[in-house]
Structure 1
């Protein structure tokens, strides 16, 4: 069974080249049982930020600890006075759930390359495969 210490270890291992738990995670006030929603367990929220989003992980302290994650935009869209949010990964506190959360962050934050920049001859994969050995392209 994993613990908060494992979560810290995974964070530092997977993001430690540019981010550390001690300097990039904001530990928020824990919620008592029944304080939010219908949770019968103490919840420990932790947040970190990218340029456009606030990412929150909530460790739910139950017999089998679980991790719930969500995101909120850091600023409202033009004409709106609220920020948009989305529930993300939820599951047991384990490395698989942690990795799923990381994958969601990357897929959420990745930016599409314009068609013009991709290739000047209208072949979107040209830049990817040109110059690679045939075996690498076929793989």
Structure 2
């Protein structure tokens, strides 16, 4: 059974650097059941806001995230956003949300930066995929991610 307290424990990994988590809503959720609880938090970066909703319903629960820009693009009045990962209230979904946030924050390299010769490439590199099973890894070609992306 998933509990809001488990999600708060997962959030503690992010809050060790100060008060960077805004609690928007905490309480019960009507319509789901008497033991249902809901927690809504927001995380901020320089350019984006992430709203994470955790619902404990006595079963597997729900954990979901939405990302949106903190300011509109030129000529627009609304802030763009999108749904990120969601699923049952558990650590795997939490890791998927964290990976979605990192992906949302990443920016594209310029063509110039992609073509720079960084020196001799290592024979192979290994990266750990934390959203997959514990200990899972992927072998990259000698050129790393650049060879995969072309």
TM-score under structure 1 length normalisation? 0.72
- Provide the secondary structure at the position in 2 that maps to 1:116: helix
The Cα shift of 1:32 comes to 5.4
Partner of 1:130: 120
Write the distance in 1 (CA, Å) between the matches of 2:75 and 2:124: 52
Equivalenced residues, count: 124
Write the distance in 1 (CA, Å) between the matches of 2:79 and 2:124: 47
- Provide the secondary structure at the position in 2 that maps to 1:27: strand
The Cα shift of 1:42 comes to 4.5
Write the distance in 2 (CA, Å) between the matches of 1:32 and 1:9: 19
Q: What residue ranges of structure 2 are gaps of 5+ in the alignment?
A: 126-141, 145-150
Maintained 8 Å contact 2:121/2:143: no
- Provide the secondary structure at the position in 1 that maps to 2:25: coil
Write the distance in 2 (CA, Å) between the matches of 1:80 and 1:138: 40
Whether 1:60 and 2:55 are equivalent positions in the alignment is: yes
Write the distance in 1 (CA, Å) between the matches of 2:17 and 2:87: 21
> Whose strand fraction is larger, Structure 1's or Structure 2's?
2
> Whose helix fraction is larger, Structure 1's or Structure 2's?
1
Q: What residue ranges of structure 1 are gaps of 5+ in the alignment?
A: 121-125
Partner of 1:106: 102
The Cα shift of 1:70 comes to 0.7
Whether 1:85 and 2:81 are equivalent positions in the alignment is: yes
Write the distance in 1 (CA, Å) between the matches of 2:29 and 2:89: 18
Write the distance in 2 (CA, Å) between the matches of 1:5 and 1:114: 43
TM-score under structure 2 length normalisation? 0.68
Alpha-carbon RMSD: 2.7
Whether 1:45 and 2:35 are equivalent positions in the alignment is: no
The Cα shift of 1:55 comes to 0.4
Partner of 1:72: 68
